[in-house]
Structure 1
Amino acid sequence: MQVDPRGQRFAAAVTTVVLIGVLVQGSWVLLACQALVFALGTVFGLRYAPYGMVFKLLIRPRLAPPKDYEDAAPPRFAQGVGLVFALVGTAGYALGIDWLGIGATAFALGAAFLNAAFGFCLGCEMYLLIRRISPKKHSDWEVPA
């Protein structure tokens, strides 16, 4: 599946605003809602990610067609990374371990801001690095006896 990279930047911008709100309010409920957004995109795919749906329905029709598309796998992986940080942060805030909530939220915010402001998807780069260093599966390998 291919996705419009402008939609990913839009989602990152909305996520940035939400995570700033989490840090200002110290709200585990708001961070849990963001975790749900990440979970939907990770588990069901980017077409079911709420911010992506807003982009597709309200913003993309007003824009020119994208110059190019990108593979959905790296941004979907990035949603999973965001989910992990959001879950850790939610647990930190909910359990009264504020430093953990703040730290996890700050890391997620940094990654979202990089994507929103500069188009640099940290989770996507992690995905590509993992793909490069993971062993390749070859069907022509022989199974040792």
Structure 2
Amino acid sequence: MSAPTEQTVPADAARPTVDPRSPRFGAAITAVLLLIVVFLGVAGAGIAALVLLAAIAALFAWGAFAGVRRHPYGALFRRFIRPRLAPPAELEDAAPPTFAQLVGFIVTAIGVLVGLLGIAPAVPIAAAVAFIAAFLNAVFDYCLGCQIYLLLMRSGLVGRSPSAG
């Protein structure tokens, strides 16, 4: 019997799934990058902070619109990390982490836009907010964006997207 892969879909569902360790891996990389943005912004290197935050926003957009399974960090995880790990106990629905990428994109894009308007403190503030979420996901396996997604689903404001992957 072969080990489950991120392309494996449980028999009871036809929606994309993901190894739950993959988004955590991406969150760890993102947290480090966001912390660098905070330090650059506080240290007065505003242009460098703005450029790096814009790159991070683009990565969030990639994950939000192409899906977490197509994100570059997911590819790194599948290529270099996953082969060294035991198979996951179970796969998770890709929709909540994909929605979390959208939340990260919104937060960082607002920071970039306001920073471009000349309000320099917006860049490290947006990066700090996004850092908290990425840190919680990477270290404690607590995904704020996923929790927001689940709350929105329970309230009926968002439906399950079969293409969120």
- Same fold per superposition (TM over 0.5): yes
Alignment of 1:66-145 (within 5 A): 66-134=88-156
Structure 1 residue 52: Cα displacement: 1.1
- 2:82 aligns with 60
Structure 2 residue runs without a partner (length 5+): 1-15, 42-48, 160-165
Paired residues, number: 137
Structure 1 residue 28: Cα displacement: 0.8
Q: Which amino acid aligns with 1:113?
A: F
Q: Which amino acid aligns with 1:19?
A: L
CA distance 1:23–1:3, change in 2 (3 Å): same
- 2:73 aligns with 51
Q: Which amino acid aligns with 2:29?
A: V
Say yes or no: does 1:7 pair with 2:22. yes
CA distance 1:73–1:28, change in 2 (3 Å): same
1:22-47 alpha-carbon deviations (Å, 9 max, x no partner): 11112111011111111111111112
Structure 1 residue 92: Cα displacement: 2.7
Structure 1 residue 50: Cα displacement: 1.1
Structure 1 residue 135: Cα displacement: 6.1
1:27-76 alpha-carbon deviations (Å, 9 max, x no partner): 11101111111111111111211111111111101111111111000000
Identical residues among aligned pairs (%)? 50
Structure 1 residue runs without a partner (length 5+): 138-145
* Cα distance between partner residues in 1 of 2:154 and 2:31: 29
Q: TM-score, normalised by structure 2?
A: 0.79
RMSD of equivalent CA atoms: 1.5
Q: Which amino acid aligns with 2:101?
A: Q
8 Å CA contact 2:100, 2:145 repeated in 1: yes
Which has the larger Rg?
1
Structure 1 residue 89: Cα displacement: 1.2
Q: Which 4+ runs in 1 deviate beyond 3 A?
A: none
Q: Which amino acid aligns with 2:156?
A: S
Q: Which amino acid aligns with 1:101?
A: V
